Structure 1
Amino acid sequence: MTVRTRFAPSPTGYLHIGGARTALFSWALARHFGGTFVLRIEDTDLERSTPEAVQAILDGMNWLGLQHDEGPFYQMQRMDRYREVLAQMLEKGQAYYCYSSPEEVEAMRERQRAAGEKPRYDGTWRPEEGKTLSPVPADRKPVIRFKNPLDGDVTWNDLVKGPITISNRELDDLVIARPDGTPTYNFCVAIDDWDMEITHVLRGDDHVNNTPRQLNILNALGAKLPLYGHVPMILGPDGQKLSKRRNAVSVMDYADKGYLPEAMLNYLARLGWSHGDDEIFSMEQMCSWFDMTHLSGSASQFNPEKLDWVNNHYIKAADNARLADLIRPNMLAAGAQFDGAPDLAQVIALLKDRTNTLVELADAAMLFYRTPAAEAELLNQHLTDAIKPALAAYVEALRTVEWDKAAISAAMKAVLAAHSLKMPQLAMPMRLLLTGQLQTPSIDAVIALFGRECVLARLTAY
């Protein structure tokens, strides 16, 4: 059997991190077995689906690097196929026209609630042997309902939750086409999974109640049934359901906040799945391990501090030239002046170990690419008359010293010893003169990066 998985988002907004995790698991399962990963856009909700949302989903998938093998397929482009199957089901008696108005359906449900029963369609228009149906209302367009089995159970062995059984008596005759003929969600999903030969359906556990309905439709059609796995939701840091009001939930929000896609994938993989004690791993490693074992049946909690830790690891491991390309646009927008300034990749090598995001890295790197503007009060406090002779001596040493970190450091130590000073007494005013701020990486490393001409100009400008 060739494994075929799918990711099938509805384009009603951005790519949610929960959806991104589902896509990752489906992608990794297909890659593990050398199968096919299908992207399907479920866009039948015409009121809420937008081209902008479709693009947001595609952008998120591209940023994460979750490349599909087939698709994207759009349900709105498959209407002829859905109508063909609807006609076949009507002809075979597997579906029927229902003329009950929305008000009549709600009234029957109210009666059931009042009687302490589960509200469901009561089968008024369901054709049965020996049953006489009411005359068809002339002014009413019908829906099409699926003729759900009245007895028995729907059972499947969920790949995450284990065996699940739901009685058919809990299910009513599902509407599979609206009065205008547009097919409904569960019908379209079942037909798509059948036509696309999907073997494994991984999705959020908010779809558990949809699964018995889709299984019954597929059984009625004689289709081969996929295996289903329903992963629990991701909770926010506060233990509540992730919401846009309290949390960043769009994948592209994290791109904008300076997270690397490989870090996001690594972090999402560990939300509900594990491989021993491994915390850091490549997607190649994940795909080699991801065989549907070790998926958790419990909800996972999103931990921003853990994501920062993972992102810091990947920033430290990333190629400096790549990081430079990623942060340069933000730095230019902040007014960075690159002409005659240090090589950005070398600056990144100095700074990246202590930054958790690309935004932090860009902010930290700006000290090398803007004109320093030290506060006069700070400069007067640190550049005292007692320090100026030592600074002048160090400037003279820098005119001829070999321009590398070791020689620059050795010259500084010699000046400090000659003037009986401690390192901070000389380093603080030099930081202010060179960068305009008191906190920088090691001063000798900063001096080495700025270059001789720039350093001499700034250290003599007071």
Structure 2
Amino acid sequence: MTRKIRTRIAPSPTGFLHLGTARTALYSWAYARHHGGEFVLRIEDTDVARSTQDSVDQILASMHWLGLEYDEGPVYQMQRLDRYREVVDQMIASGHAYRCYTTPEELDAMKEAEYARVGKRRYDGTWRPEPGKVLPTPPAGVQPVIRFANPPDGVVTWDDLCKGPISIGNKEIDDLIIMRADGVPTYNFAVVVDDWDMAITHVFRGDEHVNNTPWQINIFNALGAPLPQFGHVPVILGDDGQKLSKRRGAVSVTAYEEAGYLPEAMLNYLARLGWSHGDDEIFSRDQMVSWFDGSHLSKSPAQWDAAKLAWVNAHYLKTIDESRLAALVADQLKRRGIDASVGDVQRRVPLFKDRCTTTVELADWLAMYFADVTPSAEDLAAHVTDAVKPAIAALADKLEATEWNKAAINAAIKETIAAHGLKMPQLAHAVRVKVCGRAQTPSIDAVLELFAKHFVIERLHRA
């Protein structure tokens, strides 16, 4: 191919950017970057009744969070209506499109009749001009739709980047509507004009679009426009084995951000849902760009695995810059109404990050340092027993005069245990419950060292 590589992602703003679209965006972006090409963001907003600005904002926020920067856009289809009408007029003049006055009721009856006759529900071509054919008189007051005059014979064939050669006979498809009566284009027409005008060379999308592709190829050919190469990637299946989709089961990209996942982990995980590079499980964006040449795309559906995503995220949580991690955790705390400086959070992150898979879990741990805790009645009953209470009070007094570091705290605890004839777990669990609000933590001396001394003493003295 001699044209400059240009790919695109074209979500509709009728809801959030879901995981399947995010994966397609990633593949499109990586392919363009691999070849030194360009990546375009297009907003397909012709479904006026369901499109919202909130959805547009969420799509843009998701792309930004994932780091999938685009070279052009966002381009909005509803701002291109004049262009679509111009192309429609050209197609009518060239005989590749025609006006159809069939009403919705007539179309329903027509499709039922066609189904009874040939086993397919489709338009019967009543208004399609043919040599020697006399068309009905256009009914008064009816605004026509515009239909594409699909070739009646032959086969549409393309070599799919993912699925390999695909052929569909023209007899299997009918003359689709390319412009509604209100002048708004339909998907299969608008997408062709857009890809033509934007010089798109490669189209990665979900395999639910395979059946749209013959129409689109025929429209490209009717316009004399160069064809892009198509790659239809398999669907992502949820835990129930059903397809993840915007309307069923798919969680938005921004929901994962809020849940404490890192964008590099999400990109890494999404990339492996339908593509591979040997046995590599963990790789950077730069590595993916260097490897992603359009090959090694899976032909089989991918299974969403929340545990695998958590494992990938835990890896990145351990390896990213701690100042950045601390800032993310501070943001999570702020959402809970807890103010903590990034510096104070960063000092405490190393002790807990290896135990966590998300920044939400890290915030769960660190909240005890910046907000009061309320131990459960069960933990208090199980661990803060009458046998241990004297030792808790003694430890609180001892800590008053203890230098505030891990070694000194550890020594104070051991001295208290010896003086009261206890075992380490008895006192350590009780201290954890009263100071941390939970019975299980990392090493108690390391945990206490990160508290302000007066917090520990105050919580130990509480009844």
TM-score by length of 2: 0.91
* 1:139 counterpart = 2:144: no
Q: Which moved more, 1:8-17 or 1:115-124?
A: 115-124
Total equivalences in the alignment = 461
| Matched position secondary structure for 1:343 | helix
State the distance in 1 between where 2:125 and 2:395 align: 94
For 1:49-128, list aligned pairs within 5 A.
49-128=51-130
How far the C-alpha of 1:23 sits from its partner, in A, is 0.7
Instruction: Please name the residue that 1:449 is paired with.
Output: 450
State the distance in 2 between where 1:283 and 1:244 align: 26
Instruction: Please name the residue that 1:198 is paired with.
Output: 200
1:112-163 per-residue CA deviation (whole Å, 9 max, x = no partner) reads 2112432222222222222222223233222222121111111000001110
Identify which of 24, 29, 32 aligns with 2:31.
29
Structure 1 residues 47 and 245 mapped into 2: Cα distance closer, same or farther (>3 Å)? closer
State the distance in 1 between where 2:186 and 2:72 align: 23
Q: Which moved more, 1:122-131 or 1:304-313?
A: 122-131
* 1:303 counterpart = 2:305: yes
* 1:430 counterpart = 2:425: no
Structure 1 residues 76 and 387 mapped into 2: Cα distance closer, same or farther (>3 Å)? closer
For 1:152-163, list aligned pairs within 5 A.
152-163=154-165
| Matched position secondary structure for 1:237 | coil
Structure 1 residues 245 and 89 mapped into 2: Cα distance closer, same or farther (>3 Å)? closer
Structure 1 residues 91 and 255 mapped into 2: Cα distance closer, same or farther (>3 Å)? same
1:238-285 per-residue CA deviation (whole Å, 9 max, x = no partner) reads 111225787452112212222122211111111111111111111111
State the distance in 1 between where 2:344 and 2:16 align: 37
State the distance in 2 between where 1:25 and 1:428 align: 50
State the distance in 1 between where 2:80 and 2:246 align: 32
Contact persistence 2:332–2:359 (CA under 8 A): no
For 1:246-325, list aligned pairs within 5 A.
247-325=249-327
Matched AA of 1:258 = G
How many percent of aligned residue pairs carry the same amino acid? 61
State the distance in 2 between where 1:47 and 1:344 align: 46
How far the C-alpha of 1:322 sits from its partner, in A, is 2.1
State the distance in 2 between where 1:207 and 1:114 align: 27
Structure 1 residues 387 and 82 mapped into 2: Cα distance closer, same or farther (>3 Å)? closer
State the distance in 1 between where 2:381 and 2:458 align: 19
* 1:168 counterpart = 2:170: yes
State the distance in 1 between where 2:6 and 2:39 align: 6
State the distance in 2 between where 1:383 and 1:135 align: 91
1:186-212 per-residue CA deviation (whole Å, 9 max, x = no partner) reads 111111111100000000111111111
Contact persistence 2:202–2:230 (CA under 8 A): yes
Instruction: Please name the residue that 1:151 is paired with.
Output: 153
State the distance in 2 between where 1:145 and 1:220 align: 13
Q: Which moved more, 1:194-203 or 1:323-332?
A: 323-332
| Matched position secondary structure for 2:323 | helix
Contact persistence 2:13–2:44 (CA under 8 A): yes
Contact persistence 1:342–1:368 (CA under 8 A): no
Contact persistence 1:201–1:229 (CA under 8 A): yes
Q: Which moved more, 1:137-146 or 1:325-334?
A: 325-334
Matched AA of 2:354 = D
Instruction: Please name the residue that 1:47 is paired with.
Output: 49
1:359-402 per-residue CA deviation (whole Å, 9 max, x = no partner) reads 22211212222334456886686566765776677567656665
State the distance in 1 between where 2:134 and 2:165 align: 40
State the distance in 2 between where 1:233 and 1:147 align: 31
Contact persistence 2:329–2:345 (CA under 8 A): no
How far the C-alpha of 1:310 sits from its partner, in A, is 1.3
Structure 1 residues 441 and 164 mapped into 2: Cα distance closer, same or farther (>3 Å)? same
How far the C-alpha of 1:352 sits from its partner, in A, is 1.5
Structure 1 residues 377 and 8 mapped into 2: Cα distance closer, same or farther (>3 Å)? closer
Structure 1 residues 421 and 123 mapped into 2: Cα distance closer, same or farther (>3 Å)? same
Structure 1 residues 244 and 360 mapped into 2: Cα distance closer, same or farther (>3 Å)? farther
State the distance in 1 between where 2:393 and 2:120 align: 88
How far the C-alpha of 1:412 sits from its partner, in A, is 4.1
Q: Which moved more, 1:209-218 or 1:378-387?
A: 378-387
Contact persistence 1:6–1:40 (CA under 8 A): yes
Structure 1 residues 28 and 338 mapped into 2: Cα distance closer, same or farther (>3 Å)? closer
Identify which of 222, 225, 236 aligns with 1:234.
236
State the distance in 2 between where 1:384 and 1:138 align: 90
Structure 1 residues 344 and 159 mapped into 2: Cα distance closer, same or farther (>3 Å)? same
| Matched position secondary structure for 1:67 | coil
State the distance in 1 between where 2:73 and 2:458 align: 59
Structure 2: runs of 5+ lacking an equivalent: none
Instruction: Please name the residue that 1:353 is paired with.
Output: 354
How far the C-alpha of 1:24 sits from its partner, in A, is 0.8
| Matched position secondary structure for 2:450 | helix
Contact persistence 2:14–2:50 (CA under 8 A): yes
TM-score by length of 1: 0.91
- Root-mean-square deviation (CA, aligned residues, Å) is 2.6
How far the C-alpha of 1:63 sits from its partner, in A, is 1.6
State the distance in 1 between where 2:178 and 2:337 align: 57
